[in-house]
Amino acid sequence: PMDSEIKESLVTHLKKVCGQVTALEKMVNADQPCLEIAQQIRAARSSLASLEKKILLDRIKKVGSVETEVKELERLLEGVVS
């Protein structure tokens, strides 16, 4: 489970992404220039990548190391594959 502080930060970030996507929809409906739409798409993608990074870094901090995380995932997968 995520700490409430991290979760709140992620939800705030997600709301920003939703706002960017809503802006994209409005831009398309308003026939905005393609380059402006592309720029907004890049901004939304960058924001999503940043969100992904925050989530993964939080997970790594909780696990302690990537090696420990890999072992944990392997252990979980053994139960699925067996």
**Of all residues in the chain, what percent carry a pLDDT higher than 70?**
93
CB 47 within 8 A of CB 10: no
SS3 content of the chain, % helix, strand, coil (to 5): 90, 0, 10
User: What confidence score (pLDDT) does residue 12 get?
Assistant: 96
CA distance 32 to 10: 30
Residue 76: count of CB within 10 angstroms of its CB: 10
Q: Residue 72: is its pLDDT beyond 80?
A: no
DSSP 64: S
Structure tokens at 9: 């930060």
pLDDT in tens, 57-69: 887 777 766 777 7
